[in-house]
Amino acid sequence: MSLPKDPVILLSYINTLLRDKYSSLTELCSSMSICMSDITEPLAAIDYTYNEKTNQFV
């Protein structure tokens, strides 16, 4: 499955996966064979960064 192109939808999609299925962004990327920058760069463009303590983009 490809990642959503819209950054706001991507944010919701990734945070849901992090909440429900994965204990870290690294685990999510590894499991889905996704380059971390494919997630972090679009979300950084809308001022969201990954918070390891809460395991979500904030």
* Nearest in space to 52 (alpha carbons), one of 30, 32, 22: 22
Give the helix/strand (H/E) hosting 57: strand 56-57
Please state the domain count of the chain. Answer: 1
The verdict on residue 18 lying in a domain is yes
The answer to whether residue 1 scores a pLDDT higher than 70 is no
- Higher local confidence (pLDDT), 2 or 54: 54
Q: What percent of the chain has pLDDT over 90?
A: 97
Distance CA 3, CA 29 (A): 11
The verdict on residue 2 lying in a domain is no
For the entire predicted model, the pTM comes to 0.95
Distance CA 7, CA 21 (A): 20
The verdict on residue 43 lying in a domain is yes
Mean pLDDT across the chain, nearest whole number? 97
- Are the C-beta atoms of residues 23 and 54 closer than 8 Å to each other? no
Q: What domain range includes position 17?
A: 7-57
Give the model confidence (pLDDT) of 3-24 as tens digits.
999 999 999 999 999 999 999 9
